Structure 1
């Protein structure tokens, strides 16, 4: 596969005690559907620099607690409460519209369609939410474009396919006396009119392992497809990764073929590796093996040996979870194990490892036998022809040439911003990393020992993220540029940070979109002519937002961290902003809340603080 340039887009938000950092590479359409992608809640140190204004630029009482919040691609603020969806002008705080039809919504059933001003919403009704109504809203005007007929069944998810002018509803239905069958169905609707184009039975009812939905209640949990990566589109075919791989013909709704294999762990989210397509071959992973499949016929070309066998006989008893595969030229780089979420907690699943196999036949070419303590996502480094990852003690780079070999193995040293006594006490820089010091330090000092969970790209260097640390790494010079270490306000915050960073590891470097046109290309506009005015509005708003961002004080590349501020900066719990380009902490905002929730528009330099959960205060940097 040819090396592809990457781009980075960030939106940070604090949800239920989490700091979330959204990062994108070439994969914006997929990542927009996750909205919560990377995260950090870290430990304290001396900080200095520019602070946010002490007074909000606007305040908006909601009248009830916000349950979810997101920024659209145009910067418009959407907030869901138990009784309605609110659309808010980010510049003035004015409520542009409020729709009380959609109660107890979440980000899985109120999905923005990439490249359009549309929001796909699902309204629940009936006993135990047994009925569902599909609706398309223009979020710039609040107008309802169309509402599809009510369907009886359990809502599982929505798949927007704007390139083909379709919106697909995934539901488990039952016989209703009106001709509706029992099973898990795909219902495709015309994006312009809402007309149902086709329906397809994907599998039997309850055939897909489900996971707890975001914002789901504990007493009556709602289950959905949030534990899976978004399908991959190529041409007229959508490849679904819910039960291995199924190829769906978007013109007719026919399932062209299906190759089923189990996930790495049914109880954990995103334990199927995201699908990869190279030429005529589709690659997937599950059940401890990598699969190569002819994308046209569904014929299995090869299946690798169980990856856990590479981890040694002792660990082979535990099936490996292959969570990422990257196809580079004639090789497949794969990682297995790491941190996973079940929707409520995070756990480290072993065995841990990185292997490289031949893309031609799946035969092993390389295995890293030194991984311990944790494992991040794989990150391609085309500038030096390498693939990078981190474990609990080292940053590692593998060559992507004719042979696979280590080109760097750099000890992780989180030490900058610590006092000299702290460094001496923990021994960082003396032992070649973190893991070697664990048994030698006191329990209070162990709080400063942190295992990397995710790596992202930022302005020519790599940012290594742990739940309590940030580190900048130059892959060309093979050296650290900076590192930071902050105090979480409580152990609970540190635990939640691990939850959030795990989401980053699940998505960053994992998702891929096949080469295809977007809705804004001439080919992508087929079937959308009836709503061309809405697309024109989208273009105008895009231009307006670009001008605003271009004139803002934000220099880009920030992550915001919940910590305890020093007294001279207001004290108590607040936010600090870290410039990921240079590692400098030059923004701060005192919040005066023990468990603050916020959302940040990093590009525009604006923080939305949900004071008490039911009042929004906007601050600008």
Structure 2
């Protein structure tokens, strides 16, 4: 009997130890002081050290790549190209004149670990611009290349590289090498526009168009364009030029042959933040700023919305809608443009400039959610929530749900009971989807005075969470469990590179950039109103986009976005355990701790990959541990 009891004790001890994982699955000694850790959209951890960059794939025991060619890099010198496996590394600023300062650029594929472009290897002495274009998977570089004759070594040049094959497609000079006459500034002033049949380069002398073999097509005198966008046919192109004072924008329209299609360019106040080509005209949102100028004559800090004629550039609206703040949400619909203001307020304007809502809808500040629902447009702000008729702007709920201003508001839809659930300021409100009747459903008191920032339906129950708290309520609001995990210390938690709040689908958030996905140069719209609780839409869009690019790295990323996230059934929380500070993996349905990882660090620096379920931990100044969660 004693032997059985002894075996039982040993088994229980072993089971207890099995829940703790102090030994990492992989350990990486980087041989240099670690400065920054960045979890990429592809699941590779990129570490900046005193020597350069290191890429870590938790599935391999050695780093994917080590890039020390340029030495220590600042965060500003390391650009993670969103929606891609690429990092652009830069040192030195591009100069307008050759020979002043040498600049370096490199492009790394962090999934394969290959350096697919290095300006040193291709004899680029200066690099003005270095841009990646998706889904074309091309790299366009401009600058001074020290190859060829003496004259060629002094002449600005553009080169286009294929990133899949790592080969040069074509290159050309922006000026005639050895040209005699007054020196001209041919520096590249903005983002080139890569189209199906040709490439347009914006320079200080004007726009220069070349075929995909580098042959001259046309030039014009529209100077210092910052970025361009084309319509679907690629026959109409819009160029955006920031005025010399840096406060306003001039919009130019040109044809595929380079000829100006508007008699005069169109000037809009502020810097363009959103732009969409529609059959009815051109929608433009620009943000104005007083730049700190308190003069009564300075412009207000707010957005302007204009609707321009595609044929002439003239404003089609006699009176622009008043915003009285910055446009936070901007959606194009069949009958007009819907927009929400960060400082509060929602309105809708027809393409003819008529107000579609009977009157502007007043809302609280910081509109966190604007989405389609079966009953109409649901909005949730830091102060109130309601559903409104998208045609008239009339309230569906008799009166908005109001609560104390809260930095964190969580919500979900309970389909089984046909009700919306909104958690704010320690209360869960239940709103009947049909009648709009509202009632206080339950009180929620989280430790450390936290507010819920996550909410979802799980098997008919309601799951709520914050950084240190987890709770499940049944359909009637009765508590099933409440688990609290004390934060190591507020300073320790805030210093951590990622916590449950900070990480909140870090990789997925990075991927969903309209500017990266569509490059803001290709015809298409990201200004579509999503459906409430439709979390999978953006992941599918990203996965489909990755799959459409003929490159193995993008295929790997597509598979990752189609995978079920490791956090679907678990939450990871940094907390103070008996043996020290650690990360716990907690089951959402029952609150049980499935795994503990003791970090033995009062102020740990770490990253959690919520998709693959991996913890990257800075064990000491030069070592990274990887744990499978």
TM-score by length of 2: 0.54
Query: What CA deviation, in whole Å up to 9, does each residue of 1:91-133 have, x standing for no partner?
Result: 1331233121243054874435746xx5252341589995433
Closer/same/farther in 2, CA of residues 90 and 178 from structure 1, 3 Å limit: same
Q: Does 1:201 align with 2:202?
A: no
Q: Does 1:328 align with 2:339?
A: no
The residue number in structure 2 matching 1:556 is: 568
Matches within 5 A, 1:262-273: 273=273
Q: Does 1:398 align with 2:399?
A: no
Closer/same/farther in 2, CA of residues 296 and 466 from structure 1, 3 Å limit: farther
The residue number in structure 1 matching 2:10 is: none
Closer/same/farther in 2, CA of residues 196 and 286 from structure 1, 3 Å limit: farther
Closer/same/farther in 2, CA of residues 491 and 53 from structure 1, 3 Å limit: closer
Closer/same/farther in 2, CA of residues 428 and 538 from structure 1, 3 Å limit: closer
Q: CA deviation at 1:60?
A: 0.8
Query: What CA deviation, in whole Å up to 9, does each residue of 1:351-371 have, x standing for no partner?
Result: x20221214245553434351
Secondary structure at the counterpart of residue 353 of structure 1: coil
Closer/same/farther in 2, CA of residues 449 and 500 from structure 1, 3 Å limit: closer
CA distance in 2, matches of 1:523, 1:604: 19
CA distance in 1, matches of 2:391, 2:480: 26
CA distance in 1, matches of 2:114, 2:428: 63
The residue number in structure 2 matching 1:111 is: 80
Closer/same/farther in 2, CA of residues 255 and 322 from structure 1, 3 Å limit: farther
Q: CA deviation at 1:464?
A: 9.7
Q: Does 1:291 align with 2:265?
A: no
CA distance in 2, matches of 1:170, 1:283: 29
Q: CA deviation at 1:618?
A: 0.9
Q: CA deviation at 1:620?
A: 1.2
Query: What CA deviation, in whole Å up to 9, does each residue of 1:117-171 have, x standing for no partner?
Result: x52523415899954333344445444434455364777xx54222234335699
CA distance in 2, matches of 1:74, 1:55: 25
The residue number in structure 2 matching 1:29 is: none
CA distance in 1, matches of 2:47, 2:376: 43
Secondary structure at the counterpart of residue 164 of structure 1: coil
Higher deviation after alignment, 490-499 or 143-152: 490-499
Report the structure number with the largest CA radius of gyration. Answer: 2
**Contact 1:119-1:139 within 8 A present in 2 as well:** yes
**Contact 1:239-1:245 within 8 A present in 2 as well:** no
Q: Does 1:355 align with 2:346?
A: yes
Matches within 5 A, 1:420-439: 428-429=426-427
Higher deviation after alignment, 599-608 or 354-363: 354-363
Aligned pairs, number: 468
CA distance in 1, matches of 2:593, 2:567: 13
- Structure 2 unaligned segments of length 5 or more: list them: 1-17, 145-150, 175-187, 191-201, 205-225, 243-248, 289-302, 411-423, 431-445, 526-540
Secondary structure at the counterpart of residue 46 of structure 2: strand
Match for 1:388 among 375, 379, 395?
A: 379
Match for 1:167 among 136, 139, 160?
A: 139
The residue number in structure 2 matching 1:55 is: 23
Q: Does 1:101 align with 2:109?
A: no
Q: CA deviation at 1:578?
A: 6.8
Q: CA deviation at 1:190?
A: 5.2
Secondary structure at the counterpart of residue 449 of structure 2: coil
Secondary structure at the counterpart of residue 568 of structure 2: coil
Query: What CA deviation, in whole Å up to 9, does each residue of 1:193-242 have, x standing for no partner?
Result: 3444687534999xxxxxxxxxxxxxxxxxxxxxx999899665887889
**Contact 1:123-1:134 within 8 A present in 2 as well:** yes
When the two chains are superposed, the root-mean-square deviation of aligned CA atoms in Å is 6.3
The residue number in structure 1 matching 2:449 is: 448
Closer/same/farther in 2, CA of residues 170 and 153 from structure 1, 3 Å limit: closer
Closer/same/farther in 2, CA of residues 431 and 230 from structure 1, 3 Å limit: farther
The residue number in structure 2 matching 1:439 is: none
- Structure 1 unaligned segments of length 5 or more: list them: 1-49, 206-227, 265-271, 310-319, 338-351, 417-425, 433-444, 526-531
Q: Does 1:121 align with 2:88?
A: yes
Closer/same/farther in 2, CA of residues 464 and 169 from structure 1, 3 Å limit: farther
Secondary structure at the counterpart of residue 145 of structure 1: strand
